[in-house]
Amino acid sequence: MSAGDHPLARGELVTFSCTAGLGRVTLNRPEALNAWSLAFGRALTRVLVEEASAPEVRAVIIIGAGRAFSSGIDLRIGFSTGADGTHDLREELDVHHGAINATCALRKPVIAAVRGPAFGIGFSLALACDMIIASESAVFGPSWARFGLVPDGGSTLTLATAIGHRRAFELAALCKQLSGSQAAELGLANRVVPDDALDAEAEAVAMRLAAGPTMAYAALKDGLRAAVHGGFAGQLDVEERLQTELARTTDFLEGVSAFRESRPAVYTGA
């Protein structure tokens, strides 16, 4: 068992339900703000591939249990270690990118309903969906640079295509956070609603889509992704190469240590 496989949560890590053609994928580690472990990433992929893709499911909502969408990778668990003793993120990236690919591959509309933090790979998951409905408590954050890393989960592409190169660089490099309202203003989220209206709003939009011409929606997704995200698979490969290299740096070790010790990081560029 690798470091990221430790079962920190009891019960199902990701749950699925379907009512009247509307599928609901719930990220179900509320005690950890729905942070990702290897087991979590595998569970999400399985739900998306085996349950959300069923023909009777005509639209999908992805939502987090509790007060967060997802806080990103669970740094309490740690990372896999290579033969040379350095951290090796390839297993984590293979698993987590598998979940992102499964999200993109669904032949039906997928809506991210975001309340609270959507950080790191959780941020990438939201960006992989066809629509984002944010609550007023939503906070979007590409937090990788804090740990000496680059965005992954395809977000080097999806973030840049959503808000442009310069804004994407600023957000990612400075680890800036966006409120739900700011995300909507930038075009990162489709709309922002009060917290207590998030579930109802996401369900209303999803039900409208579920009642529509889903074959046309699938084709629309194909056309849009070909035009905007045509290099998505290749971008995941680029991110995996960059992330694997950065995981061997002193800055990465310092960033993780500083986070765990609740202190400012001191980066040396090595």
Print the SS3 string covering 185-210. HHCCCCEEECHHHHHHHHHHHHHHHH
Range of the domain at 23: 3-196+214-260
Mean pLDDT computed over every residue of the chain:
91
* C-alpha to C-alpha distance for 47 and 68, rounded to whole angstroms: 19
Whether 248 maps to a domain, the answer reads yes
Q: What pLDDT is recorded for position 225?
A: 86
Is there a domain that residue 51 lies in? yes
Phi, psi dihedrals of residue 73, rounded to the nearest 5°: -65, 140
Euclidean distance between the first and final Cα of the chain, in Å? 30
Report d(CA 62, CA 41) in Å as an integer: 14
Q: How many domains does the chain have?
A: 1
pLDDT, position 81? 59
Q: Which pLDDT does position 84 carry in this prediction?
A: 59
What is the model's pLDDT at position 6?
35
- Residue 7: inside a domain: yes
- Name the nearest CA neighbour of 4 among 127, 117, 87: 87
Q: Do the beta carbons of residue 71 and residue 117 sit within 8 Å?
A: yes
Q: Is residue 207 part of a domain?
A: no
Task: List Cβ neighbours of 104 (8 Å cut-off, separation of 6 or more).
Answer: 128, 154, 225, 229, 232
- 244 domain residue, yes or no: yes
Query: How do the pLDDT tens digits run along the chain, 270 residues long?
Result: 333 333 333 359 999 999 999 999 999 999 999 999 999 999 999 999 999 999 999 999 999 999 999 999 998 776 665 555 566 688 889 999 999 999 999 999 999 999 999 999 999 999 999 999 999 999 999 999 999 999 999 999 999 999 999 999 999 999 999 999 999 999 999 999 999 999 999 999 999 999 999 999 999 999 998 888 778 888 999 999 999 899 889 999 899 889 889 999 999 998
CATH no. for residue 188? 3.90.226.10
Report if residue 57 sits inside a domain. Answer: yes
Judged by phi (left if over 0) then psi (alpha if -120 to 50, else beta), residue 126 lies in alpha
114 assigned to some structural domain = yes
CA atoms within a 13 Å half-sphere pointing along the CA-CB vector of 184: 14
- The pLDDT of residue 124 is 97
